[in-house]
Structure 1
């Protein structure tokens, strides 16, 4: 088995720099924001971003390519990336140098490095495992393309030639925008999120109209869940309704973002709706906690 290290680039340093920037900003906001709801959202955001950044730091810093008699393996430490490509499925390859020409669909990086999925000009949907753009090789298979940046580039290319895989140009055009909303993976999270938003919006109003809210309800909290301001049950109900409308706006933004991204990758378009779902769940849990604490 032959091992090819991924060429060293600036990807890890860029991700570290962005991580420091995000952490500094979010920690500053968490420290100075005097709102329970916003503080909770910022803390969830901080955790999610750090997990996301750590994942790509590990992948970008430890990426390797292995070749045996039948397959090409793309792996990183802890198997965070673990792709297996049969040489029988590789039809041809292309090469490039310099800036990556394409649209990032998911993952990290764009011009100087790229880990994730991109739609590359003429090449089409591509799984990106590129830590340096000095020498990039694109492998075309039956289902998708793969982009690699091996350290010993020309030796890697000769290895492909020995397996009757040769350089050839191909072109995949961008497909028309499809409507993913009919697919269950898209429709189900949309419906669940919509139901949660309806609960956030209507539950406090229904409780108020039926006289099940106290005359005095909290309107704002400090991050430690101590009340800053009290108001009437009616004011509380309308404030919670505004949170429901906010979540509705997030849902429709994510819906249209997913609709647009389906042109590049239909599978990835579903993930936008899950972001809206997570946000709505956080708001619902906070609302339930407030109502059952102060009723």
Structure 2
């Protein structure tokens, strides 16, 4: 039979809702002043992605609960957005804390007053956070990672943990050495794909111009409805597209070094940086291909 504990109520849901409202108002106002096809579509993509991200964490933060039976601890939320199963035999020890969370957020949402996602917590180490309130937080250490939770009936929950012969002890994890990214296939493959896309984005229009495959008159800017509002020479078009390519190249290298730095905290979160560069580069390449197919 499972015993279920709700997560302690905190500021998490209202914080995320407030940020979402501010973000949407800002984006809607800003979009109305954008008169560039590329930037308009990039903002639309960001608008959809960020709202999906916000809703995802609103649901998790508002419906998080912890359950336990004789053998396992379960951390779940609505729609199974979070669905963790932790065998008690894998939990080596636990410790408690109160007050602001001290650490580095690696992924997810929140930081000092609530946290959902991966963090590197001071004197705890790599932690998968499911903390909706910092009034009472319990950290459960396994060999792989530590879990941070904040149940409502904290004392009762702690007694249940102690009944499983899990002791309250202190520990401290140190930072890892930086991962050799070139040896990580999950990182290297998207990095190579992103690099190829950036090279195509940068060199393709220049090569087409040098070989005389661009018309003498090419569009340089569009309104949000993909109607050309400014024309220039093929050379100007090629150099504008090359500029987009160079900007994406800069983003790619920034994401590479960000991934290296974050890999010191947690080897499972640094992949997200390279995928950001990959998505942005793919977006600009698709825009370039559409322009070339329409006006070549």
Please give the TM-score of this superposition, normalised by the length of structure 1: 0.98
1: CA distance between counterparts of 2:185 and 2:38?
Answer: 32
Q: Secondary structure at the match of 2:229?
A: strand
Counterpart in 1 of 2:257?
Answer: 256
Counterpart in 1 of 2:220?
Answer: 219
By how many angstroms is 1:178 displaced?
3.0
Which stretches of structure 1, 4 residues or longer, exceed 3 Å deviation after superposition? none
2: CA distance between counterparts of 1:269 and 1:123?
Answer: 20
By how many angstroms is 1:182 displaced?
2.3
Matched, 1:133 2:134: yes
Counterpart in 2 of 1:113?
Answer: 114
2: CA distance between counterparts of 1:58 and 1:135?
Answer: 22
1: CA distance between counterparts of 2:28 and 2:51?
Answer: 12
Q: Secondary structure at the match of 2:108?
A: strand
For structure 1, the 5+ residue unaligned runs are: none
Matched, 1:278 2:279: yes
2: CA distance between counterparts of 1:244 and 1:157?
Answer: 55
2: CA distance between counterparts of 1:181 and 1:50?
Answer: 33
Counterpart in 2 of 1:92?
Answer: 93
Aligned counterparts, 1:146-295, within 5 A: 146-295=147-296
2: CA distance between counterparts of 1:30 and 1:265?
Answer: 36
Instruction: Work out whether residues 180 and 266 of structure 1, in 8 Å CA contact, stay in contact via their aligned partners in 2.
Output: no
By how many angstroms is 1:175 displaced?
2.2
1: CA distance between counterparts of 2:69 and 2:54?
Answer: 31
Instruction: Work out whether residues 138 and 145 of structure 1, in 8 Å CA contact, stay in contact via their aligned partners in 2.
Output: yes
Instruction: Work out whether residues 72 and 86 of structure 1, in 8 Å CA contact, stay in contact via their aligned partners in 2.
Output: yes
Q: Secondary structure at the match of 2:106?
A: strand
By how many angstroms is 1:56 displaced?
0.3
Instruction: Work out whether residues 59 and 76 of structure 1, in 8 Å CA contact, stay in contact via their aligned partners in 2.
Output: yes
Counterpart in 1 of 2:30?
Answer: 29
Q: Secondary structure at the match of 1:170?
A: coil
By how many angstroms is 1:28 displaced?
1.4
2: CA distance between counterparts of 1:292 and 1:212?
Answer: 12
Per the alignment, do residues 16 and 245 of structure 1 end up closer, same or farther by CA in structure 2, a change over 3 Å counting? same
By how many angstroms is 1:73 displaced?
0.3
For structure 2, the 5+ residue unaligned runs are: none
Please give the TM-score of this superposition, normalised by the length of structure 2: 0.98
Which sits farther off after the overlay, 151-160 or 177-186? 177-186
Aligned counterparts, 1:47-86, within 5 A: 47-86=48-87
1:141-168 Cα deviation digits (max 9, x unpaired):
1211000000000000000111111211
1:208-259 Cα deviation digits (max 9, x unpaired):
1221111110000001101110001111011100000010011011011001
By how many angstroms is 1:101 displaced?
1.0
Counterpart in 2 of 1:8?
Answer: 9
2: CA distance between counterparts of 1:175 and 1:240?
Answer: 40
By how many angstroms is 1:266 displaced?
1.6
By how many angstroms is 1:50 displaced?
0.2
2: CA distance between counterparts of 1:176 and 1:187?
Answer: 18
Q: Secondary structure at the match of 1:106?
A: coil
Q: Secondary structure at the match of 1:213?
A: coil
2: CA distance between counterparts of 1:175 and 1:226?
Answer: 52
